[in-house]
Amino acid sequence: GAVVSQHPSRVICKSGTSVKIECRSLDFQATTMFWYRQFPKQSLMLMATSNEGSKATYEQGVEKDKFLINHASLTLSTLTVTSAHPEDSSFYICSARDRVIGADTQYFGPGTRLTVL
Amino acid sequence: GQSLEQPSEVTAVEGAIVQINCTYQTSGFYGLSWYQQHDGGAPTFLSYNALDGLEETGRFSSFLSRSDSYGYLLLQELQMKDSASYFCAVNTNAGKSTFGDGTTLTVKP
């Protein structure tokens, strides 16, 4: 399957700082990437859909000014958590979609564990 | 919106067969996917069904009935390493996926 990388894998920051997370598709071009967050023992919650060359589409209840998404190229999307607070501590996972006839597969990055002190 | 139901926990022994069911309600259904997630890791793709029937990939198979809005993941010859969470996810023609709450599978010796 396709490979998606995510960086950093783990970050600890102070409250009020901003954190940038990168998501890269390594061996294919992804016009669409997705950003999820996952709390312990819970499901993945879609935060936003990142489209190359256009604005991201945010899910209801997700603050677009707090979670800035940029999809600058076909292989890179970034999520910036601005003015992070302890309640933003979570596992953030990106995925890239490979949609061809008869298949619709998401390839996930390894995730970024964010801890805000 | 979309909603999915899957059992929260399943326990089985090594070598056994286990079936994890998933029922869903959605508009614009495109397909049903299954993912495996080990503790601390990211989800990995297992299987995808867009049409009715059974898809087999090694020890794992997935089934879909669009008319019943139902699917299942079948794991055969269970191994200890199969202990993980399994998520079904509905893919819609809007291009998004909604995940179920996950089923924690515990494989015992």
φ, ψ of residue A114 to 5 degrees: the values are -105, 130
CB contact, 8 Å: B91 with chain A?
yes
pLDDT in tens, chain A (117 residues): 678 999 999 999 999 999 999 999 988 888 789 999 999 889 999 999 998 888 899 999 999 999 999 988 888 999 999 999 999 999 999 998 876 654 567 889 999 999 999
Percent of chain B with pLDDT over 90: 83
Residues B96, A42: C-beta atoms closer than 8 Å: no
Mean pLDDT along residues B7-29: 96
CB–CB contacts below 8 A, A to B: 53
Looking at chain A, which residue has its C-alpha nearest residue B46?
A: A105
CB contact, 8 Å: A90 with chain B?
no
Instruction: Please give the pLDDT value at position B79.
Output: 97
With H, G, I as helix, E, B as strand and everything else as coil, classify residue A87.
helix
Residue A73's Cβ-side half-sphere holds a number of Cα atoms within 13 Å equal to 8
Is there a contact between B7 and B23 (Cβ–Cβ < 8 Å)?
Answer: no
Best A5, A31, A36, A106 member to test B by mutation, with max B CBs in 10 Å, is A106
Exposed/middle/buried for A48, CB within 10 Å: 0-12, 13-18, 19+?
buried
CB contact, 8 Å: B103 with chain A?
no
Instruction: Please give the pLDDT value at position A1.
Output: 63
Structure token pair of residue B45: 């793709």
Structure token pair of residue A36: 């999820």
CB contact, 8 Å: A85 with chain B?
no
Residues A46, B43: C-beta atoms closer than 8 Å: no
Residue B27: how many CB atoms within 10 A of its CB?
9
Residues in B touching A7 (Cβ below 8 Å):
none
Rounded CA separation B2/B98 (Å): 7
Instruction: Please give the pLDDT value at position B86.
Output: 98
Instruction: Output the average pLDDT for chain B.
Output: 94
Q: Which of B42, B96, B101 sits opposite A46 (nearest CB)?
A: B96
Q: Which of B42, B91, B102 sits opposite A93 (nearest CB)?
A: B42
